[in-house]
Structure 1
């Protein structure tokens, strides 16, 4: 029996089939991308209608404002981010990089967050000596509420978090960090390393830590525990009590809260 090899025609057919599959795949991808773009366009249009209909509620009601922001996030839109790529050509006058808040609701809500960010910076700066630049989001909100002028919108924790987000262009000086189940605003130009974060999480339990506590519970060496404590002490994030048998490193915020509660109760 004679055995014939694969001829050039077979190679040509295989090449043609591969080319057809590639062309079909490109066509499908293009079709899917166009369909997705159309869906996003519809979502954006509906979002704009919703925002215009409920603009007053969004401005005045913090919970409604938070729900609207989450709805924006769900479809990949950051309400406070610059949106220079938005459709509309040359219309709209002035800055093409205005935020979605400004585009949909006018400048009122947009300015609300930037003005709130300024107030957050003021609160953090005024209390840095007390807490070393680490202040709970809840405490920030309470201080803002106490200083709120009559008739101004109520501020929620979600508002505070979003206001801090507008400070990102300032670099790493302002950021939200989570220690345990509590959110804090860090207002010092320094990132916390993993050891420092672990120490601050431990402090949340009793209000203080000591070197031996860290060695026992985190299985650290003495040098590692002492280094982390010294770094936080140097930044003012911990205060040291040298009167105890073993030096205790306290959270300034915890000590001030206790002192305030004792003064109020007594």
Structure 2
């Protein structure tokens, strides 16, 4: 009996078949990539038309502006990033500037400047870690009457424009709350956990960290001591049982709320 497919000829056919499969696969990937690029090009074109039609709403309505920015992100377009397709005769280097004029583009850059000012002015109070909502409220208090409303989303995007300047300003999350870190250092996992614990009651102790997180005392003390050294926690050495490490933001919030509560009681 003859045995087909045995010997050098079989190996040659196998190599030929593999090469054909590889060529076909490469062709399919190329076609898929071209189709995807075409779809994205269509999406970007439609997005430009949408932006031009609703430019006024994007400028004036912060909720509409946030929805538009999310649409851009969904197809990989950053409205605040430089655009390689911008022409020399354009009004600016970003999609905001090209489609809507410099007003929206400058809005975020001016907001970023105000955010930096607020972070710098409050650094001695909070150690360089301040809530996004607190920043927004401080910025709004310093704006002229009739100025556009600012949302937390606007503040987050404004901080994003500072990335080319390095890591001096960044968004970090402590629990579910976003903060702006304005000191050039990263928080360790232990430091983040200690800060998150301090948000519950406004303070934390080494014993609380040991009980809730299962840490050894040395680990708990190291975390709070590092945060204390950077000014992100304040210590109360007169606490009855053991030292309490307080969140500066919690203390300042209580101090701000006290006059309002006193005024309400007086008028009541």
Name the TM-score, length of structure 1 as normaliser. Answer: 0.92
Shift of 1:4: 7.0
Change (3 A) 1:34 1:126: same
SS of the residue aligned with 1:153? coil
**Aligned residue number for residue 70 of structure 1:** 70
Please tell me whether residue 254 in structure 1 is matched to residue 250 in structure 2: yes
Q: Give 1:112-191 correspondences, 5 Å limit.
A: 112-191=107-186
Question: How does the TM-score come out when normalised to structure 2?
Answer: 0.91
Matches within 5 A, 1:207-218: 207-218=202-213
Q: Equivalents in 2 of 1:156, 1:40: separation in Å?
A: 29
TM-aligned CA distance change 1:221 to 1:46, over 3 Å: same
Matches within 5 A, 1:90-129: 91-93=87-89, 98-129=93-124
Deviations 1:122-170 (A, max 9, x none): 0111111111111111111111111111232211110000000111112
1:39 Cα deviation from its structure 2 partner:
0.6
What number of residue pairs does the alignment pair up?
261
In structure 2, the partner of 1:34 is 34
CA offset at residue 63 of structure 1? 0.3
The 3 A distance-change label for structure 1 pair 7 and 119 is same
SS of the residue aligned with 1:237? coil
Is the alpha carbon distance of 1:240 and 1:3 closer, same or farther for their aligned partners in structure 2, counting shifts above 3 Å? closer
Query: Any stretches of 5+ residues in structure 2 without a counterpart?
Result: 263-268
Shift of the alpha carbon at 1:2? 6.4
Q: Deviations over 1:16-51 (max 9, x none)?
A: 322222222222111111111111110010000000
Q: Secondary structure at the match of 1:45?
A: helix
Inter-CA distance 46–3: structure 2 relative to 1 (3 Å threshold): closer
- Shift of residue 224 of structure 1? 1.2
Change over 3 Å in CA distance of 1:3–1:142 after alignment to 2: closer
Q: How big is each residue's C-alpha offset from its partner over 1:195-254, in whole Å with a ceiling of 9 and x where there is no partner?
A: 110110000000001111111211111111111111111111111111112111111111
- Distance in 1 of aligned mates of 2:151 and 2:75: 23
Query: In structure 2, what is the Cα distance between the partners aligned to 1:51 and 1:106?
Result: 11
Gaps of 5+ in 1: none
- What RMSD, in angstroms, separates the aligned Cα atoms of the two structures? 1.9
Counterpart in 1 of 2:24? 24
> Structure 2 vs 1, CA of residues 100 and 2 (structure 1 numbering), >3 Å: closer, same or farther?
closer
SS at match of 1:212: helix
Paired residue secondary structure (1:78): coil
Residue 178 of structure 1 aligns to a residue whose secondary structure is: strand
Distance verdict in 2 for CA 1:18–1:120, change over 3 Å: same
Counterparts of 1:186 and 1:102, CA distance in 2: 28
